Amino acid sequence: MTRTAVLGLGSWGTTFAVVLADAGGKVRLWGRDAAVCAEVNERHTNARYLGETPLPDSIEASTDHAAVLDGAEVVVLAVPSQTLRDNLGVWRPALPPGAVLVSLMKGVEADSHLRMSQVVADVAAVGADRVAVVSGPNLAREIAVRQPTATVVACEDEDAAELVAQACSAPYFRPYTNTDVVGVELGGAVKNVIALAVGIAEGMGLGDNTKATIITRGLAETARLGAALGAEPATLAGLAGLGDLVATCASPLSRNRTLGVALGQGLTLDQALAAARHTAEAVKSCRPILELARAHGVEMPITEQVVELVHGGATVHEMGARLLGRPRKPEGA
């Protein structure tokens, strides 16, 4: 029985705790809201994020991070990507020696342009062989009700990846292992930006041709950035690349797609964020992703236009016109 700590009581952190418990592990959850922790312990629900979906009785929740971390073999980090550094700095003294640290976050850190696994290694002062990432077509609400899916567990150390994969291998949740951490993380980060663009098209009333074009060219952007950073092409064609991209762009459960729909319908960013209520990672990650790409000489036109829309004041119509007005070139270029 693997002893696991999950730091973060949002939808994906709570859902991954469900997976770990269903896989036979002993799971403790940390959250800063005492009322939500009490709800998890007493009612076995997390209504804010998962409605009335029942959670396993074996999951324990607490606001005391040291108690949650005590004796954990696997520590799962599930907070918004731009808050990871500050949170992990607080948790670091209580991290169990030798524990594998697992990132569920999908983003690139502002200013540093580090991927989440790099932030974990930096703040926790551990080697890359102790940092794993989990990513794939993993919409939390579907998994919380035990609908089948697969995911990728990536770590430079194959044994560490296998430890995490065993810990989350449930009847409905199939993990595959990989050593391409770069590819798995980039697939998860960039797909949020592309999903926001697909949502905008949906909100504008555009059809499947437009959305398929954005998805396909979005994958091309991801692949170019991945190649520049040393990712394996097969990774971006797999679950953590194409699989996650399709799920996030197609599903109304996707926060980033949903935010895009609101923007496409004419809401301002502030109005759309207020309506969404939950974190849409693309808003804060799109600019550092674009800056990372520019630093490596990689063109990412869809990402660039999302940044212009979210942070530069461009309209959705200007966004479309700029993309369609770009010089033509061979598809593979």
Tell me what the mean pLDDT of segment 19-32 comes to: 97
d(CA 282, CA 254): 11
Beta-carbon contacts of residue 270 (< 8 Å; ≥ 6 apart): none
Do the domain assignments include residue 332? no
Do the domain assignments include residue 11? yes
Tell me what the mean pLDDT of segment 91-113 comes to: 96
State the pTM of this model. Answer: 0.94
DSSP 15-63: HHHHHHHHTT-EEEEE-S-HHHHHHHHHT---HHHHTTPPPPTT-EEES
Give the per-residue pLDDT at 99: 97
- Domain stop point among 179, 207, 225: 179
What CATH number has the domain bearing residue 249?
A: 1.10.1040.10
The model's confidence at residue 311, banded by pLDDT at 50, 70 and 90, is very high
Catalytic residue among 26, 106, 191, 329: 191
Instruction: Supply angle C-alpha 176, 181, 184, rounded to 5.
Output: 65
- Domain stop point among 156, 179, 202: 179
Q: Are residues 127 and 251 in the same domain?
A: no
Do the domain assignments include residue 72? yes
Kindly state the DSSP code that residue 70 receives in the 8-state scheme. Answer: T
d(CA 258, CA 256): 5
The model's confidence at residue 125, banded by pLDDT at 50, 70 and 90, is very high
d(CA 273, CA 309): 14
132-163 pLDDT per residue, tens: 999 999 999 999 999 999 999 999 999 999 99
- Domain stop point among 138, 159, 179: 179
Give the per-residue pLDDT at 277: 67
Q: Are residues 162 and 283 in the same domain?
A: no
Domain that holds residue 259: 183-324
Tell me what the mean pLDDT of segment 310-318 comes to: 91
d(CA 165, CA 160): 9
Domain count for the chain, please give it.
Answer: 2
Query: Quick check: is 191 catalytic?
Result: yes
The model's confidence at residue 280, banded by pLDDT at 50, 70 and 90, is confident
Tell me what the mean pLDDT of segment 28-56 comes to: 96
321-333 pLDDT per residue, tens: 999 888 988 987 6
d(CA 42, CA 252): 30
Tell me what the mean pLDDT of segment 253-280 comes to: 88
Give the per-residue pLDDT at 331: 87
Residue 180, classed as helix, strand or coil, is coil
Q: Are residues 128 and 215 in the same domain?
A: no
Do the domain assignments include residue 224? yes
Tell me what the mean pLDDT of segment 37-60 comes to: 96
Beta-carbon contacts of residue 272 (< 8 Å; ≥ 6 apart): 259, 262, 263
Q: Are residues 234 and 252 in the same domain?
A: yes
Do the domain assignments include residue 188? yes
Q: Are residues 83 and 96 in the same domain?
A: yes
